[in-house]
Amino acid sequence: MNKTSEKNLNAYAAKYGSSSGVFLITQFFVQGFPTKDPRFDPDLRAIRDGGSFTINKNANGKSVSVSINGNTYMFNQYFNWDKREAAYNKAVKAFR
């Protein structure tokens, strides 16, 4: 089963770059998509192609959703973007 258009996550990241947006997309491939909304896939493609996105936080400062092209998608309880983003930022810093 192919999860990405490039057959695996490493090939996908190699082709589309190592931005935080591409990292976000790969985390959806790993954790699962938060919605079956038909707008979600085109919105992820927009991020992949350099479009912007916003991570939305709740009153406690926890990341709870992502907004792309005016559409908002809630993270499920297991997604834990804050922990994933911290690990990503640490890795980026280590490899610079």
Measured CA to CA in angstroms, residue 50 lies from 1, 16, 46 at distances of 27, 10, 6
pLDDT at 77: 87
For residue 24, give the 3-state DSSP assignment. helix
Per-residue pLDDT reduced to its tens digit, 31-82: 888 889 999 999 999 998 889 999 999 999 999 999 999 999 999 888 999 9
pLDDT at 22: 86
pLDDT at position 3 over 60? no
Max CA pair span of the chain: 39
Question: In sequence order, what are the residues at sequence separation of 6 or more whose Cβ sits closer than 8 angstroms to the Cβ of residue 32?
Answer: 76
User: pLDDT confidence of 1, banded at 50, 70, 90?
Assistant: very low
pLDDT at position 10 over 80? no
- 69: left (phi > 0), else alpha (psi -120 to 50), else beta? left
Give the residue among 7, 60, 50, 4 at the shortest CA–CA distance from 27. Answer: 4
